[in-house]
A and B are shown apart, each in its own frame.
Chain A
Amino acid sequence: MSRITECFNNLKSQGRKALIPFVTAGDPDPKVTVPLMHALVESGADILELGIPFSDPMADGPVIQLACERALLHGTRLTDVLDMVAEFRQTDQTTPVVLMGYLNPIEVMGYSVFAEKAKAAGLDGVLTVDLPPEEAGVFNQLMKAADIDVIYLLSPTTEVERVKLICAAGSGYVYYVSVKGVTGSASLNVPEVAEKLQMIRQHTDMPVGVGFGIRDDASARAVSEIADGVIVGSVLVNKIAELAGDQDKIPDAVAAITASMRQAMDK
């Protein structure tokens, strides 16, 4: 059983939902990332999503675009991101880590090299925004062989037939994008999301995480009532941006946001 599946199973037996924070690796400095990951876990995060910095993040809003730019200023590359995962793994063998990003850095590294390095680093899942299942045949085989879950996005525009196709191709969990738009843009409409999740659940037993538009305790709690996982990104990355000049404060300040969300979700 993969670490991700085990994590969701444990939470289910406790009647709790997964809190899944996203931060961009190397933002604002590579030194910050691993301590930040540990701080997030201590604050109650169940799974960590780590963004691979990319020069052209087409599906992201300005907050995560700027995070990518800050990380790239220090030259944070995919191989550095995998090193961060490996370093995190040395002291945390239980919290699943998922890389999230765009295909080109993986394409340039080569799928099989990536699979090998990711496995060695102790990575659990990968979500490639611009690699739909139709194009992912070889990639999926290699990830599967390396015991790495391939996580896919579902969106408000995804029709039933594609929900089936995507859920058949993916593993670990599916990530429901709650709004049409880029990251950090609109607020989500909880009843609409609930309706869509009901449809998705008719076609998969995988846990469903919901992301985009979760920005405070109230929205985290509302989503935790209908989804298996609450994914939160831009609000954390905003805090990192605010403290970019005072890096030592970042882990505690960001963890304070997730701790508060955790409390709201567990109430």
Chain B
Amino acid sequence: MPTKEDLAIAKQMPDAGGHFGQFGGRYVSETLMAALQQLEQTYEMLWRDPQFQAEFDYDLAHYVGRPSPLYHAERLSRELGGAQIYLKREDLNHTGAHKVNNTIGQALLAKFTGKPRVSAETGAGQHGVATATVAARLGLECTVYMGEEDIRRQALNVYRMRLLGAEVVSVTSGTRTLKDAMNEAMRDWVTNVDNTFYIIGTAAGPHPYPKLVRDFQSIIGREARQQCLAQTGKLPDALVACVGGGSNAIGLFHPFIEDADVRMIGVEAGGYGIETGQHAAPLSSGCAPGVLHGNRTCLMSDDGGQIIGTHSVSAGLDYPGVGPEHSYLQDIGRAEYTAINDDEALHAFRHLTLTEGIMPALESSHAVAEAMKMAPTMDKDQIILVNLSGRGDKDIHTVAEIDGINF
């Protein structure tokens, strides 16, 4: 167990070079170094600037619709017969997921730097939609890279992005999923570094992205902490959030790092099961550190260092790496990571819909499934706070396909 001093240090991470212990850093080709240094300077200056903070807070309140509610899922909790489950309703944000908290923040940075174009990678399409949305609002040109396989799985979001004026580029290299979309977005950035602001969607990538995405997403945890205290008079016993790159999880976890009694549980995509090798769970399957997409982190690669293809029913978790701060929190023993398989996530998707009338995204369904496992083992006066990071409308097509229904 980390000591109080360890946790105080953990809360201050990353160091000046963007390292979270042995993880993180800035592993990119030289052409991007100047842009990253400039971004870091801009961010450090603006994040402490009251005027920037006020503008960010205003947008979160009046454009995103924050604070998002903390909802006591009474019927689900009663039925499970154990801990009380509370849902942090990020699904109620404008555009339907937590992703917009970050794109609002990065768009403000883009506006300040005066770049006329933004680019993004997307898996499930939620980050792409959130990026296209802020680009439309600010009148910026927008290009979104998306794997061919994900374009098929998330056709609705693709059309949403196009309606918002974004160009959606189908990525046909590699495994045609999120990691390949990120490769392509980085190639775009190397080529258009002078006029483009790259809006990374998760708390990964080269420094300062993991830090700034976390800071923008930490609104989730700050609100949840206050709301839980206000509604129940105490802090939750456990936080549960799904982890692909891990931006919704780090946003929830970070404000609680020094609350040593609050367990933090990150839920990765178990796919067909860790034992099958077909999953997207680098932390819970015990992967060693590697380097991809600009940072050092636990990474699914083979013994020759090639990145392994991943599988998850949810496009947003289908990624072989994880944000470096999660690798660090696991390493120091502050957070725990586990995996939920496709079928368990699908069950939770249906079950939450039926018991609470809330349809979670397949990504968030992984967190719901873990909470459903944990609750019966806990006391009735204990609290599990689940980050319901996105809504499930975008996944209806996938679920219907599994049911054998074609629209």
Contacts and interface: CB of A to CB of B under 8 A. Distances in A.
Contacts of A107: 289-291, 296, 305
A158 B36 CA distance: 12
A56 B292 contact: yes
Interface in A139-187: 152-159, 162, 166, 177, 180-182, 185
A77 B304 CA distance: 6
B28 interface: yes
A107 B288 CA distance: 10
A58 B29 contact: yes
A65 B174 CA distance: 9
B34 A180 contact: no
Interface stretch (A8-16, A27-35, A130-138, A256-264): A130-138
Contacts of A77: 304-306
Contacts of A131: 27, 291
Given A58-B293, A65-B173, A156 B31 contact: yes
Contacts of A159: 34
Contact of A158 (B30, B183, B187, B296): B30
B174 A55 contact: yes
A180 B288 contact: no
A182 B191 contact: yes
A78 B305 CA distance: 8
Interface in B103-119: none
A180 B31 contact: yes
A259 B40 CA distance: 46
Interface residues of A, number: 45
Given A58-B186, A108-B305, A180 B35 contact: no
B280 to A, nearest CB: 15
A131 B34 CA distance: 15
- Give the most central of B25, B180, B306, B307: most A CB within 10 Å: B306
Contact of B291 (A103, A134, A156, A166): A103
Contacts of B169: none
A75 B302 CA distance: 11
Contacts of A108: 288, 290, 301, 303-305
A59 B27 contact: no
A54 interface: yes
A104 interface: yes
Contacts of B291: 102-104, 107, 130-131
20 contacts: A56-B174, A56-B293, A58-B186, A59-B29, A59-B187, A62-B173, A65-B173, A75-B304, A78-B304, A79-B304, A103-B291, A107-B291, A108-B305, A132-B27, A135-B25, A156-B31, A157-B35, A158-B34, A181-B31, A182-B190
Given A56-B180, A129-B29, A157-B34, 16 more contacts: A56-B292, A65-B173, A104-B305, A106-B305, A108-B304, A108-B305, A131-B27, A152-B30, A154-B30, A155-B29, A155-B33, A157-B30, A166-B30, A180-B191, A181-B31, A185-B191
Interface of B: 17, 25-35, 173-174, 179-180, 183, 186-187, 190-194, 288-294, 296, 299, 301, 303-307
Nearest 7 CB-CB pairings of A with B: A105-B305, A108-B305, A77-B304, A155-B31, A181-B191, A153-B30, A157-B34
